């Protein structure tokens, strides 16, 4: 059967019935495809959404609000750029077809759509 279980701040989904057996490679590809879920929910929005990344403490030193280290970035060409010498210290993500998933720094006080991420068991601290 299919089960979801929180464990140490991660969520595990088990595929344990005989009819869902896969090769290692197919299992890996299947698990990876779950990651496309978030972007698929944003199709058609065509506006930027805030993500939890900011550099208002130290210019050009970006942090995640979760405290996780920044190990991956996905800036649009030319970003981050503090456009027009404005202080652009918060990061949003494009959702339109051409730029879907790419990041831009924008002024933190601008209004944007957003997505919240939470952990399956909120009593557990965020662990990098
Ligand atoms: O062209 C990139 C540029 O586009 C906008 O400025 C015109 C963005 N401004 C806002 O989102 C407020 C810039 O951040 C972006 O670099
Ligand atoms: Ca920018």
Distance CA 70, CA 35 (A): 18
Q: Which residues line ligand 1 (CB under 6 A)?
A: 79, 81, 83, 88, 104-107, 110
Q: Which of 76, 105, 106, 110 to mutate to test the pocket of ligand 1 (most atoms within 8 A of CB)?
A: 106
Ligand that lies nearest to the alpha carbon of residue 50, given by its number in the listed order: 1
Q: What pLDDT is recorded for position 76?
A: 98
Quote the ipTM score. 0.99
In sequence order, the 6+-apart residues with CB closer than 8 A to the CB of 48 are: 92, 93, 94, 95, 104, 106, 112, 113
Q: How far is the CA of 123 from the centre of ligand 1 (A)?
A: 38
Per-residue pLDDT tens listing for the chain (128 residues)? 456 666 666 667 788 888 989 999 999 888 878 767 777 888 889 999 999 999 999 999 999 988 889 999 999 999 999 999 999 999 999 999 999 999 999 999 999 999 877 665 556 666 55
């Amino acid at each position: 059967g299919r089960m979801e279980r929180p464990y140490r701040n991660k969520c595990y989904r088990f595929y344990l019935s005989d009819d869902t057996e896969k090769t290692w490679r197919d299992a890996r590809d299947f698990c990876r495809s779950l990651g496309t879920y978030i972007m698929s929910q944003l199709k058609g929005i065509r506006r930027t959404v805030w993500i939890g990344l900011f550099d208002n403490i130290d210019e050009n030193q970006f942090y995640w609000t979760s405290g996780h280290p920044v190990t991956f970035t996905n800036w649009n060409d030319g970003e981050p750029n503090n456009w027009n010498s404005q202080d652009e210290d918060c990061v949003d993500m494009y959702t339109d077809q051409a730029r879907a998933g790419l990041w831009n720094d924008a002024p933190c006080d601008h209004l944007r759509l957003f997505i919240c991420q939470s952990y399956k068991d909120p009593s557990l601290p965020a662990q990098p």
